[in-house]
């Protein structure tokens, strides 16, 4: 596959851009693959990429019932951070954050990673104590964070109102190397790299059933026919429980809508990401000038990708107190995704009761930031059949054994 470069761009400019290759093909499925990955979102494509790059497994199909990146990968708000409290969480998120830093160069595709910094506001004394504890934990984990005072918050984000009548800003947990990336570009970059290794990316191919023999997976029934496989990886976010039922087991997750919105574009006024747990909202500014706004999940189980208007109203009302300027902005568009939540708000990367079938799910509201680390860990699990250091704590057996990884506070504001 042709490399992208400034010279290729100049050459194609002269040719009126008629010589570009397709980034990935749209093949018909083969009868059998070594590995079939269900879900062509960021996590599924990253799993395929690291299977090929790190483990040399390239007879792989990534199948998607819709279009590539059309699920949560294309519907999130692009925040990347790793300042989680528990050691297993910090390890896998920091692995992902570090991989994001060089991902554009590795994939030869600009994912627009922007390490602009992420701050999580402390607006109660309880949050001050909690974030100081997290900063100490991160120091032990090798994750660069610090607790900063209100004056430093105002310096980093001048448009913030730190003396709010109900919830004044008392400080913030600051991760200077966190930031954002372009969500679509992450999926497209991984897809292009997978196709270059000879993997098949098959869109508009819905799984209708999982076949097995003697307790071991043998393939999947799809709308494009039966596809046999040696190993099966289920990486489908909000529909994980649906696929698990087809495979004959249950997952301890529930699916909920998570929605966000962007404002009309305005001149640059905010070059950091700000999250506020107490008022339950977060905001950043996109490269196009839009204010990207989101909050927590809707309060009910559903598979809708629309969400409810009242939740948007609650999120905006909360953020207006901290950012009064947004009260004058018009909403440009609103969207939603379907997130899968575990009881401890931590993911599942695990073998399943069905032999040679593996599952990657339960990322809840923090899946985008984990994509490279998740793919790295899942690829090792699928290739070897055993979880490596990153995936081992996130097995299904932790729910039976009471070994929870409680990140309900760190993940409680949707990101």
- Structure-token pair, residue 98: 């570090």
pLDDT tens by residue, 335-368? 888 999 999 999 999 999 999 999 999 998 889 9
* Proportion of the chain above pLDDT 90, given as a percent: 74
Q: Which of 265, 284, 289 is nearest to 274 (CA)?
A: 284
Domains of the chain: 26-82+84-109+183-253+344-401 (3.50.50.60), 118-180+255-341 (3.30.9.10)
Separation of alpha carbons 149 and 173, rounded Å: 9
pLDDT of the residue at 409 = 59
**Residues 6 or more apart in contact with residue 305 via CB below 8 angstroms:** 75, 257, 335, 336, 337, 338
- How would DSSP label each residue in 55-117? H----EEEE-SSSTT-SGGGTS--EE----SSHHHHHHHHHHHHHHHTHHHHHTS----B---
pLDDT at 83 over 80: yes
User: pLDDT band at 302, cuts 50/70/90?
Assistant: confident
- Of the candidate ranges 138-142, 168-172, 198-202, 307-311, the one whose mean pLDDT is the lowest: 307-311
Distances (CA, A) of 397 to 43, 357, 393: 22, 15, 9
DSSP three-state, residue 26? coil
pLDDT tens by residue, 380-396? 999 999 999 999 999 99
pLDDT of the residue at 384 = 97
Is the CB of residue 320 less than 8 Å from the CB of residue 295? no
pLDDT tens by residue, 290-301? 999 988 888 788
Average the pLDDT over 203-231 and give the result: 97
pLDDT at 413 over 70: no
Phi then psi for residue 70, to 5 deg, are -85, -5
pTM for this predicted structure: 0.94
DSSP 8-class letter at 403: -
The residue with tokens 């995936």 is 391
Average the pLDDT over 273-282 and give the result: 88
pLDDT of the residue at 411 = 53
pLDDT tens by residue, 99-128? 999 999 999 999 999 999 999 999 999 999
pLDDT of the residue at 412 = 46
Separation of alpha carbons 19 and 242, rounded Å: 42
pLDDT tens by residue, 7-66? 888 888 888 888 888 888 889 999 999 999 999 999 999 999 999 999 999 999 999 999
Average the pLDDT over 81-96 and give the result: 96
Is the CB of residue 205 less than 8 Å from the CB of residue 223? yes
Q: Which of 181, 173, 157, 178 is nearest to 115 (CA)?
A: 178
pLDDT tens by residue, 129-149? 999 999 999 999 999 999 999
Residue 266 CB coordination number (10 Å): 15
Phi then psi for residue 303, to 5 deg, are -115, 15
- Of the candidate ranges 29-33, 79-83, 302-306, 327-331, the one whose mean pLDDT is the lowest: 302-306
Question: Biggest alpha carbon distance in the chain?
Answer: 65
pLDDT of the residue at 410 = 59
Strand partners, 118: 175, 273
What's the mean pLDDT when you consider all of the chain?
Answer: 92
pLDDT of the residue at 403 = 92
pLDDT tens by residue, 159-182? 999 997 788 999 999 999 999 999
Separation of alpha carbons 38 and 45, rounded Å: 10
DSSP three-state, residue 130? helix
Strand partners, 402: none
**Residues 6 or more apart in contact with residue 24 via CB below 8 angstroms:** 68, 191, 192, 194, 195, 201
Separation of alpha carbons 309 and 258, rounded Å: 12
């Amino acid at each position: 596959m042709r490399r992208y470069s400034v010279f290729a761009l100049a050459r194609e400019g002269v040719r009126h851009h008629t010589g570009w290759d397709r980034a990935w093909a749209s093949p018909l499925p083969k009868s059998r693959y070594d590995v079939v990955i269900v879900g062509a979102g960021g996590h599924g494509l990253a799993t395929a990429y690291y299977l090929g790059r790190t483990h040399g497994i390239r007879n792989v199909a990534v199948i998607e019932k819709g279009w590539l990146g059309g699920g949560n990968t294309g519907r999130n708000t692009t925040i990347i951070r790793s300042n989680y409290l528990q050691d297993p969480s910090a390890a896998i998120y920091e692995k992902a954050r570090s991989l994001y830093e060089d991902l554009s160069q590795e994939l030869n595709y600009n994912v627009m990673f922007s390490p602009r910094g992420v701050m999580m506001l402390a607006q109660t004394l309880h949050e001050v104590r909690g974030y100081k504890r997290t900063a100490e934990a991160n120091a032990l984990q090798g994750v660069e964070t610090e607790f900063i005072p209100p004056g430093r918050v105002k310096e980093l984000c001048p448009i913030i109102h730190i003396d709010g009548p109900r919830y004044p800003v008392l400080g913030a947990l600051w991760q200077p190397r966190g930031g954002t990336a372009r969500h679509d570009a992450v999926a497209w970059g991984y897809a292009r790299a997978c196709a270059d290794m000879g993997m098949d990316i098959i869109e508009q191919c819905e799984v209708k059933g999982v076949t097995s023999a003697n307790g071991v997976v043998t393939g999947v029934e799809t709308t494009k026919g039966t596809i046999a496989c040696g190993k099966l990886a289920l990486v489908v976010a909000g529909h994980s429980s649906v696929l698990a039922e087809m495979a004959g087991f249950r997952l301890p997750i529930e699916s909920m809508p998570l929605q966000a919105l962007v404002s009309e574009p305005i001149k640059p006024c905010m070059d950091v990401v700000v999250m506020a747990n107490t008022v339950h909202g977060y905001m950043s500014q996109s490269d196009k000038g839009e204010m990207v706004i989101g909050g927590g999940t809707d309060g009910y189980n559903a598979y809708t990708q629309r969400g409810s208007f009242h939740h948007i109203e609650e999120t905006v009302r909360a953020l207006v107190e901290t950012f009064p300027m947004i009260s004058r902005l018009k909403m440009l568009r609103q969207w939603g995704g379907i997130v899968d939540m575990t009881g401890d708000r931590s993911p599942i990367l695990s073998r399943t009761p069905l032999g040679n079938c593996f599952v990657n799910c339960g990322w809840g509201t923090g899946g985008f930031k984990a994509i490279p680390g998740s793919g790295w860990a899942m690829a090792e699990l699928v290739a070897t059949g055993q979880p490596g250091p990153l995936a081992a704590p996130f097995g299904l057996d932790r729910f039976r054994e009471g070994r929870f990884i409680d990140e309900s506070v760190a993940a409680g504001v949707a990101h």
